[in-house]
Amino acid sequence: MKDKLIKLNGFNDRVRNIMKDDIKVYYSIRETSQRYSVGVSTIYSWIQDARFPKPNRLGPKLARFHINDLLRWEEQQIECDINNQEYLWKKETDFMERVTRGESD
């Protein structure tokens, strides 16, 4: 019986480690700021400017960011960056075509 208990405790430790490290669902403001290499005040500023998802209220004094909200925001940032690069490329190409035709701004 004691051997089974030890194995079970070892299993529980592994499950706790997996849950802690690999399947983190909620992030604190500090963890979120570290994820994006910005200060905590920057995250608050982005939230105030509606440029970042609001944290989920898990209690009266507990707010956390859900990983799905963060991943969705990251995806939007990538899409915006791609669209901006495409826009800049088109603008530069149009400018170069006007220059080669001898037109000015």
pTM of the model: 0.60
Contact assessment for residue 52 and residue 73, using Cβ atoms and an 8 Å cutoff: yes
Calculate mean pLDDT across residues 9-38.
72
Is residue 3 predicted with pLDDT exceeding 60? no
Q: What CA–CA distances, in Å, run from 31 to 17, 28, 35, 39, 72? A: 18, 5, 6, 10, 17
pLDDT in tens, 26-44: 999 999 999 999 999 999 9
φ/ψ region of 54 (left if φ > 0, alpha if ψ in -120 to 50, else beta) reads beta
As for how many domains the chain has, the answer is 1
Between 10-14, 28-32, 57-61, 101-105, the lowest mean confidence (pLDDT) is in 10-14
Is residue 96 predicted with pLDDT exceeding 90? no
Domain containing 27 equals 2-101
